[in-house]
Amino acid sequence: MKVVAIGNQKGGVGKTTTALNLSAALALQGERVLLIDLDPQANTTSGLGIECEGEDSVYPALLGEADVRDKIRDSGRERLSLIPSHMDLAGVEIELARSDDHLVRLRQHLQGLKPNDLFDYCILDTPPSLGVLMTSALAAADEILIPLQCEWFGLEGLAKIVHVIEQIRDSGANPGLTLEGIVMTMFDGRTNLARQVVEEVRNYFPDQLYDTVIPRTIRIGEAPSHAKTIFEHDPAGLGARAYREMAEEFLRRHQPAVVV
C-alpha cells in the first residue's frame, strides 16, 4: 500500500477536490483506495455524502484509544473506502502537541495496514495549514502530491511546503518522504498568467510537474454540493476527463521501472 499525502498549506487550491476525485478515478481504474480525511472541515467526507460523528474519525486512533482499521467505512463507491473526518478532529492539534511521539502516531497506524494487503493506495487529504495534522500526514506518507493553483501566490506557497518536506526528512521523522508530483489546478488557458505560472513550475520541477492540468470549471465546484464525485456529477465533462487523465498519469508514474 502506497501512502500519498495530498498537501498544500494554502487553502482554496483544489486540494480536497483533487484528493476526492483522484481517489475516485483510481478506484474506477480498478485500484483499491483508502481515502483518509484529516481536515477538521470534513469537506472530503461531506463531498462523498457521508455523515460522521466525532468518534468515527481518526481522532480516537491518534490518541491511542482505537484501532484505525475500525474507522474504515464503505464510501458507497466500488473499491473506494473512507475514514471520515469531523470538526472534533480540530482538538487533536492540542492533544497531540503535548505528546513527544505525535509525529509518528499516524505512521504507526498506517504501517499496521500495509501487511493486510487490503488497499493499493492510501490517500491522505490534509488540512490547509502547517499544524500537527499536516506534519503527521507528511511523517506518515511515502510521498506527497501538491495541488497548485495557477497564480503567483501559489509559487510562494510551493516554496514553503517544499521547505517543510525537507524539515520532515532532516528531523528523522520520515527521511524517505519524496515529492511525488505537482499538479496545476484551476487552469484557465485563456490567460497568460496561468501559462506563465505553469512554465515557472516546470523550470524548477521538470520531473515532478504533471502533464495533466485541472481546468477551472463550474462543474468541478458544483459536484461536492451534490455529494458526488466529478465522475458522478458530470462524467463527460472537462473536469472528469482531466481527473481521469491525471489518475492514468499517476499510475504510469508508479509503475515499476523496467530493467533491461
Provide the CATH number for the domain around residue 64. 3.40.50.300
Would you place residue 258 in the very low, low, confident or very high pLDDT band (cuts 50, 70, 90)?
Answer: very low
Considering only CA atoms, which of 210, 164, 178 is closest in space to residue 14?
210
Residue 190 lies in a domain: yes
Would you place residue 30 in the very low, low, confident or very high pLDDT band (cuts 50, 70, 90)?
Answer: very high
Which residues is 33 bridged to in the sheet?
Answer: 80, 121
Residue 257 lies in a domain: no
Mean pLDDT of the chain: 90
Considering only CA atoms, which of 186, 188, 118 is closest in space to residue 154?
186
pTM: 0.93
Residue 129 lies in a domain: yes
Kind and range of the H or E run holding 61: helix 59-62
Non-local CB neighbours of 180 within 8 Å, separated by 6+ positions: 4, 143, 144, 145, 208, 253
| Residue 150 near residue 188, CB atoms below 8 Å | yes
Question: Tell me, what's the pLDDT at 54?
Answer: 65
The three cell numbers locating residue 130: 502547517
CA 193 to chain centre: 26
Q: Which of 31-35, 110-114, 204-208, 218-222 has the lowest average pLDDT?
A: 110-114
Residues of the domain holding 41: 2-252
Question: Tell me, what's the pLDDT at 3?
Answer: 97
Question: Tell me, what's the pLDDT at 114?
Answer: 83
Render pLDDT for 186-197 as a digit per residue (tens, 0 to 9). Answer: 888 778 888 899
Compute φ and ψ for 61, nearest 5 degrees.
Answer: -65, -40
Rg, C-alpha atoms of the chain: 17
Would you place residue 101 in the very low, low, confident or very high pLDDT band (cuts 50, 70, 90)?
Answer: confident
Would you place residue 212 in the very low, low, confident or very high pLDDT band (cuts 50, 70, 90)?
Answer: very high
Residue type, 150: C
* Number of domain units in the chain: 1
Residue 62 lies in a domain: yes
Report d(CA 129, CA 10) in Å as an integer: 7
Residue 258 lies in a domain: no
Kind and range of the H or E run holding 27: helix 15-28
Report d(CA 76, CA 177) in Å as an integer: 31
Considering only CA atoms, which of 110, 98, 99 is closest in space to residue 38?
110
Report d(CA 84, CA 44) in Å as an integer: 8
The residue whose grid cell reads 483518509 is 36
Render pLDDT for 131-180 as a digit per residue (tens, 0 to 9). Answer: 889 999 999 999 999 999 888 777 877 888 899 999 999 988 899 999 99
Question: Tell me, what's the pLDDT at 259?
Answer: 46
**pLDDT, average across residues 91-108:** 80
**pLDDT, average across residues 45-74:** 89
Residue 28 lies in a domain: yes
Residue 259 lies in a domain: no
Residue 152, exposed/middle/buried by CB under 10 A (0-12, 13-18, 19+)?
exposed
Residue 108 lies in a domain: yes
Residue 71 burial (CB count, 10 A): 20
The three cell numbers locating residue 240: 472528469
